[in-house]
Structure formats: structure tokens, C-alpha cells
Amino acid sequence: MSIAHIFLWATAAIWGFAFVAQSVGMESLGPHSFNAMRFLLATLSLLPLLFIFKPKKTENTRKLWLGGLAAGSCLFLGFTCQQIGLQYTTAGNAGFITSMYIVFVPILGLMLGHKTEKHTWVGVGLALIGLYSLTVGPNLSINKGDAIELLGTFFWTGHVLLIGYLSRYVSALPLSIVQFSVATILATITAFTLETPTLEGIKMAWWPLVYAGVASSGIAFTLQTLGQKNVSPSISALILSSEAVFAVLGGWIFMEEILSTRALIGCGFILTGMIISQWPRKAITAEVAVS
């Protein structure tokens, strides 16, 4: 295993354990107040990286700002659903349901005219079976938190497709800073409209905020960038999808969350589906294909 692979595994672990930090942080802050502070810290943590990873391409200013506005809005809506949903479901469930964007992307991409491989559909099918097992209870009832997390997954799917399009025209780091700035503004407005954030609450949630805002944004972004320089997109996506497994481990270790046998089977199907949908293949030229 190369150092690049280690960087990607570390990124997945940081992202997975962030679900625990988000849950703990809401013991003293409302979901919107937590997100506002998290986005602010994320923006501030990314700014120094501009001096480390200087953009090589000339930026398309219009696409940077309009794209950043759209991506930041998706980011805000996705994290809003994620944070609110965590009040009613476990970190493990939230992690696996959120990771479903990996298999939803090909479905939405098909509507946009993107080509989807046959093995991807097999992965999508298995993941959907797992999602049903994980979230649907007796009488076809769905836990409120799981339903909110699932709604957020559609915003994550839109975000991935937006980033995929924008990455052809603008550098990743400036785009990340713009989208986190937009998310900060939207979350701050929402927090002061629907909640009453206090300095005392922010102080009590300081460490979860630092982890969610700095570690899972600034640090993880750096590790992801360094790792993906020397690892194919397919393998990168495969490793990063293990974020869901780390979310379950984090919930079990730090919050004593225990999944039922049915939920574990569901997680297994989802994980298998994600692996199959992202598994790299060799093209005729023996080069690794990009999924």
C-alpha cells in the first residue's frame, strides 16, 4: 500500500468519524447553528491551502462564482438534512444512507446522457436492496431520521454531478472556498432565523466543531488531493466510500450504537453495491478505466 492510498484511507476515516462529532455537537447547538460554525471553520481552514496548492489553470470567473453558488447551495441543503436527520437516527445509519450518493449518481447521470456500465447497475441494485433493509421497518414505515438523511442524499448526488462538471473549468480549491462561503452565509441566516445560537453553546461544542469544520474539510481535503494525484479515480472512489464503515465504527466505539441484524445485513448490501459499482476495470489497452 502506497502513501497515496494511506492518505485516502485517512480521508475516509476522518469523514466517517465526523458523523459522531456532528451528533455530539448538537448536544449544545442546534443543527443550523452547528452547520454555520462548521462551514465558517471549513472556509477559514481552506484559505491557507491556496498558498500550498496554487491553482494551475486560469479560472473561469463566471463559472467559479455561479458554480460555487449552486454547489454551495447543494452543500448547505445536504448538510442541513444530514444534521437534522442525525437527531433521529444513528451515526452509522446516517453514514451508510449518505454514501448512497455513490450509486445514485449513475442513475441521475443517465438522465443527463452519461454512459453507465452494466456492473454499475448491479451495484445500484444491491445498494437499493440494502437501503430497504436498513431503513424500511414493519408496515413499510421509515424512520424519520433515515427519511431526512435519504432526502439529503439527493442533494449530495446533485453536488457530485455539479463538481464533476465544474472541475473541467475551475480549480478544486477556489471552488471549495466559494461553495463553503456560500454555505456559511445560508446556514448563518437560517440559524439566526430558526434558532438562538449562543457563545456558550459554541464553546461547549468547540471540539466537535473543530473536527467537523477543520479536520473533515481542511485536513481531509489536503489528504484527498495528495492521495488522488497518484491513485486512479475508480480506486479513489472505492476507498472513499468506506467512509460509511468508519461512521458505523465511530458510532459503536464512541456512542455505544448497536445495529440490529437486519440493519447490518442492509449495510452489507449497500457496501457490496458501492464496491461493485466503483470497482475498476482494465480496458483493452490494459489501462485502468475511469468509472
pLDDT value of residue 139:
67
**Domains held by the chain: number:** 1
Q: Could you say which DSSP state residue 216 is in?
A: I
Cβ(266)–Cβ(115) under 8 Å?
no
203 located within any domain: yes
Extract the residue ranges of the chain whose pLDDT is less than 70: 1, 55-58, 114, 116, 138-139, 233-234, 280-291
Q: Could you say which DSSP state residue 139 is in?
A: G
pLDDT value of residue 83:
95
287 located within any domain: no
136 located within any domain: yes
249 located within any domain: yes
Cβ(253)–Cβ(81) under 8 Å?
no
pTM (predicted TM-score): 0.85
- Taken as a whole, the chain contains a residue count of 291
pLDDT value of residue 290:
34
Cell of 251: 458510532
288 located within any domain: no
**Whole domain around residue 242: which residue ranges?**
3-277
pLDDT by residue (tens digit) across 100-157?
888 787 777 777 776 767 777 888 888 889 888 888 876 677 889 999 999 999 999 8
> Residue 121's closest CA among 135, 104, 138?
104
How far is residue 291's CA from residue 286's CA, in Å, rounded to a whole number? 15
282 located within any domain: no
pLDDT value of residue 64:
92
> Residue 162's closest CA among 107, 216, 109?
109
pLDDT value of residue 239:
83
Cell of 274: 458501492
pLDDT value of residue 38:
95
246 located within any domain: yes
How far is residue 34's CA from residue 265's CA, in Å, rounded to a whole number? 32
pLDDT value of residue 285:
39
C-alpha distances in angstroms, 160 versus 25, 45, 50, 278?
Answer: 26, 22, 22, 15
Contacts of 26 (CB under 8 A, 6+ apart): 34, 83, 86, 87, 205
284 located within any domain: no
